[in-house]
Amino acid sequence: MENNMKKKQTRKNEEGSGVVTGIGHGGELHQTSGNGSPELTTNQGVPISDGQNSLKANEHGPTLVEDFILREKITHFDHERIPERIVHARATGAHGYFELTESLEEYTTASVLTEKGARTPVFTRISTVAGGAGSVDTPRDIRGFAVKFYTKQGNWDLVGNNIPVFFIQDAIKFPDLIHAVKMEPDRGFPQSASAHDTFWDFISLTPESMHTVMWIMSDRTLPRSLRMIEGFGVHTFRLINSAGRSTFVKYHWRPKLGLQSTIWDETVKISGADQDYHRRDMFEAIASGKFPEWELFVQLFTSEQAEQFPFDHLDPTKLIPEELVPLKKIGRMVLNRWPDNFFAETEQVAYCPSHIVPGMDFSNDPLLQGRLLSYHDTQLSRLGTVNFHQIPINAPKCPFGNHQRDGHMQMGHPTGRVSYEPNSLSGNSPRESPMNGFHSLPSLETGEKARVRSESFKDHYSQARQFYISQTDHEQSHIASALVFELSKVEHPHIREAIVGHLRHIDEKLASRTASALGMNKLPAAPPSAAPVMDLPPSTALRTIGNMKDTLMGRTIAILVMDGSDGILINGLKKAAEDAGADAKIIAPRIGGIKLADGSAMDVDGQLPGSPSVLFDAIAVVIPEDGAKALLNESSAVDFVRDAFVHLKAIAVDKGGRALLSGVNIKPDAGLVEAAETALFIAAAKTRQWDREKNVRTLI
């Protein structure tokens, strides 16, 4: 009875507590951590002295495999969900090739990076992070960008994201980050959204995340198309040449179509109109022969150069500005074939950062070091077997063989007596290849083994500030609006105040804008900064606006028509759009075709209520004047033109179209042109009408 009362006393019904903490399964109480809270322990009950840092050989050294706390935490996290991926569950994948255009023979022996002109098969998977497989394509979220190269020397997996930095500096914090951003465990929502208490609570207590937060709150995480995003390897890797000399490398994918994002209100409406918006876009592009393409760039630098950087290149919350280390273009990737079976390929493909080939090696980035363990372990859970490499989408396209045998779902048929090496009983069994095989870079590691975070990792705000001040005024406003939207969903005032405090280290005006819009009477105090905040120079490469291409390639224009429309104007607009590289879709109040003013028939591609303007990059309205009166009583028509205007899209109109716009109080501006002026319309359609934004949206 007394023991039961002790148990009850320790069961504090604090909000967010989903388990009884501080009590062993046998009913014994643990010691407290010193501040009244129960001790953090392993699953074996061992108290943990430091849950923030993995065990390293030294301050800058590699993570040690003996770190049983890291291994238990990561392994448990990897096996939490079966069989869906814990992160990156919803994805689009495609086959293609990588063509090397400039050899890196000076830096590496990896054939995929040295044989100029060679084409290497690839399978690329682009995914959201937070949502499940049944979520939508278009939430505000990072996109995973993973490429599997089927090289002559074995598979190389370049597994990254569409932004170059990450939330955390050490892999031991990854389960905490994802638990925080995923739907809250006591209520099962929100799905695929970061606008909730647990995520921002974690961020408020993890200032190293503020750089990535700036990227997430920017337009980068609202892509118009997966064909219009960048990809980054995130981590620093190594290349090793024939002389055994190492060079550090960072990888960048640049889309041929340039960067393009949507606007938040538009994104929300797209998710309702077409949950598969990005997947459909990629499928239709490949099906029509408009193959998505990216160029591969590298940043190459030496250890001596790295020592001069005003940040630590091993810190995954930092990027290397292009102005400091220029990008070198070395090749291109073309995706030209859709999977034959979504499950067999896109769902079963298994990427692991540990999959590299001779001529490559890892750095001591502590997040990367943990990923080398985690990804392989996750595939064992998801695919249920150590033989996941035998699934066709994962199998190398070069010869491979070893003495690993049996296991669940073994599809090979090993023969003979020998299943070990070295051996003297088989003359043709696989043996080591000292000359051509993989070699790790010899390196001297000294220092005290400890759970430690490098002193050089302490600057959490300088690059966050650099990113923010590099944005255009419009993009800065979008960041402020995104922060206010997200934090307005946070129930606890102290979390909102803590985030605004962090923002003060990044930009006082941003903090003030956010605080004011959240109804704060005064600015919260900024938390202590572990390192001085540097004023780094702006970098135009960090913007989205300005890095768009002057093209309509990859875009779609909608032409709204109805019975009695002018066929000459319609065909002129359609031809101009297609000549500029865009697709043109004819939208009408009903499916099945229309009768034009001259009596001829025209097929249509979509019905108005099912084809809202959020699905298109620009619109034209070619309708008879009496038709405008009818459409003013049709909400889908009113929304069609009003949304296009509010989302800053170019609009071409004839006399009837102008009457429709006037009827919903849309006033002329530079992005509203006559349908007959096709050249002006095409020029306007290539970009958003940014000057319009101040007239249609109250910017925070």
Mean pLDDT of the chain: 92
Q: What is the mean pLDDT of residues 257-282?
A: 97
Instruction: Render 386-408 in DSSP notation, one character per residue.
Output: TTGGGSTTTS-SS----S----T
Q: What is the DSSP letter of 479?
A: H
Q: Is residue 430 included in any domain, yes or no?
A: no
* Gap between the Cα atoms of 170 and 185, Å rounded: 24
Q: Is residue 255 included in any domain, yes or no?
A: yes
- Give the per-residue pLDDT at 69: 86
Residue with tokens 């400091």: 324
* Gap between the Cα atoms of 374 and 358, Å rounded: 22
For position 360, which CATH number holds?
2.40.180.10
Residue 79 is a catalytic residue: no
- Is the same domain home to 565 and 538? no
Q: Is residue 570 included in any domain, yes or no?
A: yes
Structure tokens at 214: 């700036």
DSSP helix/strand/coil, 680: helix
Q: Is residue 29 included in any domain, yes or no?
A: yes
Q: What is the mean pLDDT of residues 451-462?
A: 97
Structure tokens at 248: 């550090």
Tell me the longest C-alpha to C-alpha distance in the chain: 93
- Active-site residue identified among 53, 155, 161, 364: 161
- Is the same domain home to 40 and 89? no
- Is the same domain home to 41 and 84? no
**What pLDDT digit, counting tens, does each position of 633-691 carry?**
999 999 999 999 999 999 999 999 999 999 999 999 999 999 999 999 999 999 999 99
**Do 635 and 609 touch, CB atoms closer than 8 A?**
no
- Is the same domain home to 35 and 120? no
- Is the same domain home to 159 and 217? yes
* Gap between the Cα atoms of 395 and 387, Å rounded: 10
* Gap between the Cα atoms of 386 and 156, Å rounded: 18
- Is the same domain home to 536 and 640? no
- Give the per-residue pLDDT at 452: 95
Q: Is residue 313 included in any domain, yes or no?
A: yes
- Is the same domain home to 571 and 536? no
- Is the same domain home to 664 and 605? yes
**pLDDT band at residue 75 using 50, 70 and 90 as cut-offs:** confident
| Domain end marker among 495, 511, 542 | 542
**What pLDDT digit, counting tens, does each position of 496-546 carry?**
999 999 999 999 999 999 999 999 999 999 999 999 999 999 999 999 998
What domain range is 93 assigned to? 75-170+209-390
- Is the same domain home to 494 and 381? no
Structure tokens at 575: 């031809």
- Give the per-residue pLDDT at 495: 98
- Is the same domain home to 323 and 351? yes
- Give the per-residue pLDDT at 348: 94
Count of beta carbons in the 10 Å neighbourhood of residue 100: 20
For position 671, which CATH number holds?
3.40.50.880
Count of beta carbons in the 10 Å neighbourhood of residue 414: 14
| Domain end marker among 345, 365, 390 | 390
**Do 200 and 210 touch, CB atoms closer than 8 A?**
no
* Gap between the Cα atoms of 566 and 363, Å rounded: 64
**Do 129 and 180 touch, CB atoms closer than 8 A?**
no
* Gap between the Cα atoms of 218 and 467, Å rounded: 10
Number of domains in the chain: 4
Residue with tokens 């392993």: 42
**Do 578 and 554 touch, CB atoms closer than 8 A?**
no
- Is the same domain home to 87 and 36? no
Residue 521 is a catalytic residue: no
| Domain end marker among 542, 570, 590 | 542
pTM given for the model: 0.90
Q: Is residue 99 included in any domain, yes or no?
A: yes
Structure tokens at 641: 């033109």
- Give the per-residue pLDDT at 699: 63
**Do 199 and 182 touch, CB atoms closer than 8 A?**
no
**What pLDDT digit, counting tens, does each position of 158-200 carry?**
999 999 999 999 999 999 999 999 999 999 999 999 999 999 9
Q: What are 278-283's contacts with CB under 8 Å, separation 24+?
A: 278/92, 278/126, 278/137, 278/138, 278/223, 278/225, 278/226, 279/92, 279/137, 281/225, 281/226, 281/227, 282/92, 282/94, 282/126, 282/225, 282/226, 282/227, 282/335, 283/92, 283/338
- Give the per-residue pLDDT at 642: 98
- Give the per-residue pLDDT at 2: 39
- Active-site residue identified among 60, 88, 460, 474: 88
**What pLDDT digit, counting tens, does each position of 279-311 carry?**
999 999 999 999 999 999 999 999 999 999 999
Q: What are the backbone dihedrals phi and psi of residue 252, each rounded to the nearest 5 degrees, phi first?
A: -135, 130
Q: Is residue 405 included in any domain, yes or no?
A: no
**What pLDDT digit, counting tens, does each position of 478-495 carry?**
999 999 999 999 999 999
- Reply yes or no on whether the pLDDT at 78 is more than 70: yes
Q: What are the backbone dihedrals phi and psi of residue 278, each rounded to the nearest 5 degrees, phi first?
A: -75, -40
Q: How far from 69 is each of 254, 378, 587, CA to CA, in Å?
A: 38, 17, 59
Q: How far from 409 is each of 388, 389, 413, CA to CA, in Å?
A: 8, 11, 12
Residue with tokens 């048929």: 413
For position 529, which CATH number holds?
1.20.1370.20
* Gap between the Cα atoms of 31 and 24, Å rounded: 11
- Among 536, 534, 578, smallest CA distance to 555 is for 578
- Reply yes or no on whether the pLDDT at 13 is more than 50: no
* Gap between the Cα atoms of 295 and 253, Å rounded: 6
- Give the per-residue pLDDT at 45: 76
**What pLDDT digit, counting tens, does each position of 113-158 carry?**
999 999 999 999 999 999 999 999 999 999 999 999 999 999 999 9
- Is the same domain home to 586 and 492? no
Q: Is residue 64 included in any domain, yes or no?
A: no
**Do 554 and 617 touch, CB atoms closer than 8 A?**
no
**Do 151 and 136 touch, CB atoms closer than 8 A?**
no
